[in-house]
Chains A and B, each alone.
Chain A
Amino acid sequence: MATPAPEVHTTVPPLAPERAVTWPKRAKTRLSNGLEVVLAESHAIPKFHGELFFRSGNAAAAHRSTGLAEITATVARTGTSKRTSRQLEEDLRRIGADLSTSAGSDNSAIAFAGLSEFAEPLLALVNELAREATFPEPEFERERRQKLEEVKLDRTQPGFLASERLRKVLFGAHPYGVVAPTQEQVAAYKRDDLLSVYRDFYTPENAVLLLVGDFQPQAMLDTIEKIFSPWTGKKPEIPPSPEPPRPRGRRVQLVHFPGAVQTQILAGCHAITRKNPDWIKLGLTNSIYGGAFNSRLVMNIREAKGYTYSPRSGVTPLRQHGYFSISAAVRNEVVAASLTEIFYELDKLRALPVPEPELADARNYLSGVFSLGLATQDGLLSQLATVALNNLPDDYLETYREKVRALTPDDLLATARKYLDSANMQIVVVGDRTQVQPQAALFGEVEVFDAHGKRLH
């Protein structure tokens, strides 16, 4: 065999000219009953993905009880006027479909995916779950008992305990201040509570149906019209929520987790919702801080110092309020050292403009990653959901990349100063207090809690 001439390329090849990113055209309509429908074609596989969203979730039911939208979604799939739980599950399998029902703070949803050849029976089943769920008493009772075990298990997970505590301190009595029901609340759920949430939230005026996949849009619209147009129902009345507190000064909340061999750090502050005009600026600022592998925080506390495996930061855009947070699970000995670096990087972004080459890299990152969502049905669906659920302009997908590319070092400095609120950051640490309390105390007054939220002294 001839040996090829050893040719080693020692310099980085330049990027080739970019191919245009073309988002598929969306077909949008509103049925006479108020149901909003958005469709987009994507023919990579002979399937389609869809989601029927209701614009009300646990927050909208918080005055009745905690987590009520979620248990309603769970039980909604366990029986309809036409099918038992077992029939529903077998019928889904018969057409090769996956389906899940869930609720978060702001929305309830029926998510589904299936073969294109069986689109009509799948949509008919989704329609049935949205309109004719019967909440059979034994199914409700079983799911309630399941939920009891789940909420007990949650309290053994450091990540859950950290986010629960941060939400509490940032949002107080606002519904966003509670992420999961207590055992007592679950024990007190009644089937009637679920039925009333279902009646109020699951209506066409409150819903948006998104579909992405291998179908012909006009034929799909006709099918949707046929299946969903007889449905009726009004938007629910939701009582206003109290204003969240605006905690001032750095404070530390320590959740004592006996025997922990690692400490979960989570720090956060109030930020903005998706609709805020500063959203893209904050997104880019976050990707430089800790939102990408190549970010400052990851390079510092992982790649240079080896304190942690998985540091990251992000902005959580809830509908009424948003918050910025930083998380890292670190070894017990370096809790103070990690927090020092976390604040060093925050303060640096607030004090010094980002050098232009670093900013150019970050702009490329954010706009490039955005276009990856174009290539899969699921990725495209989640982009459509962002637009629809936040009432963003129709050209959001088309203009996002240009907006990212227009940002300057001054934009980022102003954004960091405005939203990376270093001085008022609320710090949560979940770990063994005997190992971490003295380290945490260097960063603010420490309050200690057990896994059930009880104050410890």
Chain B
Amino acid sequence: MKPFNISIEYTTLSNGLKVVIAPDASAPVVTVGVYYKIGFRLEPRGRSGFAHLFEHMMFQGSANAPKMQHIKLINSSGGVLNGSTHYDVTNYFEAVPSNALERILWLEADRMRALKVDDENLRNQRDVVKEEVRVNVLNQPYGGFPWLDLPPIAFRNWANAHNFYGDFADLDAANLADVQSFFKTYYTPNNAVLLIVGDVKSNEGIALAQKYFESIPAGAAPPFADPREPQQTEERRGEVEEKFGTLPAMAIGYTIPARRTPEWCAMSLLEQALHGGRAGRIYRELVLEKQIAVEADGGIDDLFGYNGPTQMVTRILHKPEYSREQTLAAFDAVLENVQRSGLSADELQQLKVKFRSDYFSTLESGHGAMPRFGLMHLLACFSLFDNEPQLVNTILEGFLAVKPEEIQTVANKYLRPANRAIVFRQPVAQAKEAA
């Protein structure tokens, strides 16, 4: 095994902005990100979907870069850009030839300092977001399954349980005052981290960060809703109608151990034993051997990128000739096998090699082929959640140290009916032939 070490420079500016530089001059490109510690979980009640709608507003203009300028300046510098909203963070990122670095930092600083948007921008992006929800959820077979279906069934705390894409009534109710107050509360330098990854020297990166960001005033420490869940004591089930798809589907979610604990590492490897592509036990049993299911996959979404209650989710589309109870029984049999017999030393060894290999790929790219997107994402999350971006160099060790008996222990402790939620997605009975 080759040694692997990413060089990292980490500092905090006087206004509280965290700055992480990971220099690598092997190609003349640089990936820049700004992550704010605000996501779906923390959006205000009555404003479901607001964190995501707000993310769109961040592209609508700032004090010195009016609407259309932001996108135009990045594209015309030879770069690509995007943003995304997660449970606990919202990010804005771009990959550009490295000669555009200073320009990108200026743009990010300008919108961190002063968002400048109006009612027309808000109406426009509300329309765009509704079409986004339609194209990804409402007009697609199995749209939103299970990422939007499961949380309301699995969780009791509104922070974890509401519709993250937003009810249309809530999107319509959002106004410009909401936008400005959300910005003022959460989009402060002291609630953010700036990442510069790629073709930059550490000292130059830090100097540029100071030049453009250090004069942005710090804000008050933002309030954070408590995302903790009451102890679950019973299996939870729910139903969602499937409007277009032809196959019955179900998703089963188990709440997993707290992040960065030995149990979390064991659970992550166990999850790979269960899912892990065509070698995974669930796919092998349900799709290849018993042939009950047409699709069976799952995992822990964005393993390093959340900071609150989360689930390992299995997603199954099964043949109509098998009932949901038969399908679920076949799934349960896979889990019972691990609970009873654990994993062999050989299987665990395979999983560790694959985990290491996947980890390297995560670091190298992501989000299309954006260079080192994954490295940026992990550096950001480890900075905001742990104040320790250097974890990218050591986090792997915990997974490689997992022992077979730990796997069996978490299988028995966490993969219990009283720790799970199930959503059934049932195709509507009506004939869909043309009138």
Contact = CB atoms under 8 A, between A and B. Distances in A.
Interface string B347-369: 00111011011101101110001
B329 interface: no
Contacts of B389: none
A132 interface: no
A53 interface: no
Contact of A308 (B102, B128, B360): B128
A323 B351 CA distance: 44
Nearest to B131: A309
Interface stretch (B134-142, B391-399, B404-412, B417-425): B134-142
Contact of B245 (A43, A156, A360, A369): A156
Counting chain A CB atoms within 10 Å of each CB, which of B134, B317, B371 scores highest? B134
A331 interface: yes
Interface in B39-92: 63-65, 67-68, 71-81
A12 B103 CA distance: 6
B358 to A, nearest CB: 8
A95 B353 contact: yes
A306 B134 CA distance: 13
A150 B245 CA distance: 11
Counting chain B CB atoms within 10 Å of each CB, which of A117, A293, A330, A373 scores highest? A293
Interface string B100-132: 111100100100010000000001111111111
A417 interface: no
A46 B351 CA distance: 18
B14 A367 contact: no
Interface in B11-40: 14-15, 24, 26-29
A226 interface: no
A256 B434 contact: yes
A198 to B, nearest CB: 20
Interface residues of B, number: 98
A285 B48 CA distance: 40
A393 interface: no
A365 B97 contact: no
Interface residues of A, number: 95
Contacts of B351: 93
Contact of A375 (B26, B141, B277, B317): B26
Contacts of A365: 75-76, 78-79
A67 B247 CA distance: 22
Contacts of B75: 292-294, 361, 365
A19 interface: yes
A35 B109 CA distance: 52
B422 to A, nearest CB: 22
A115 B353 contact: yes
Given A93-B276, A256-B434, A369-B80, A261 B97 contact: no
Counting chain B CB atoms within 10 Å of each CB, which of A11, A145, A262, A433 scores highest? A262
A46 B358 CA distance: 11
A1 B28 CA distance: 37
Contacts of A25: none
A45 B287 CA distance: 33
A428 B246 CA distance: 24
Contacts of B134: 261-262, 329, 331
Interface string B151-193: 0000000000000000000000000000000000000000000
Given A13-B106, A142-B291, A372-B369, A331 B364 contact: no
Contact of B80 (A150, A372, A450): A372
B131 A308 contact: yes
Contact of B106 (A7, A9, A373, A374): A9
Given A2-B14, A11-B64, A96 B246 contact: no
B335 to A, nearest CB: 20
A377 B103 contact: no
Given A260-B139, A306-B127, A310-B135, A368 B96 contact: yes
B278 interface: yes
Given A368-B96, A376-B364, A379-B365, A6 B215 contact: yes
A34 B276 CA distance: 36
A241 interface: no
Given A89-B277, A258-B435, A379-B369, A374 B27 contact: yes
Contact of A372 (B71, B101, B214, B370): B370
Interface string B323-343: 000000000000000000000
A177 to B, nearest CB: 23
B5 to A, nearest CB: 12
A152 interface: yes
A21 B28 CA distance: 7
Interface stretch (A203-211, A275-283, A296-304): A296-304
Contact of B357 (A97, A142, A305): A97
Interface of A: 1-21, 43-47, 85-86, 89-90, 92-98, 113-117, 142, 145-146, 149-150, 152-153, 156-158, 256, 258-262, 292-294, 299, 302-310, 329-331, 360-362, 364-365, 367-369, 371-379, 382, 433, 450, 456
Interface of B: 1-2, 4, 14-15, 24, 26-29, 63-65, 67-68, 71-81, 95-103, 106, 109, 113, 123-132, 134-135, 138-141, 198-199, 211-212, 214-215, 217, 243-247, 276-279, 284, 287-288, 291, 294, 317, 319, 349-351, 353-354, 356-358, 360-361, 363-365, 369-372, 432-435
Given A6-B215, A292-B75, 16 more contacts: A12-B106, A19-B28, A19-B97, A115-B360, A156-B141, A293-B75, A294-B76, A306-B123, A306-B126, A330-B131, A369-B79, A371-B29, A371-B78, A375-B371, A375-B372, A379-B369
8 contacts: A1-B14, A12-B103, A44-B24, A47-B357, A142-B288, A330-B131, A368-B96, A376-B371
7 A-B pairs closest in CB distance: A368-B78, A96-B357, A306-B127, A361-B76, A375-B371, A19-B28, A294-B75
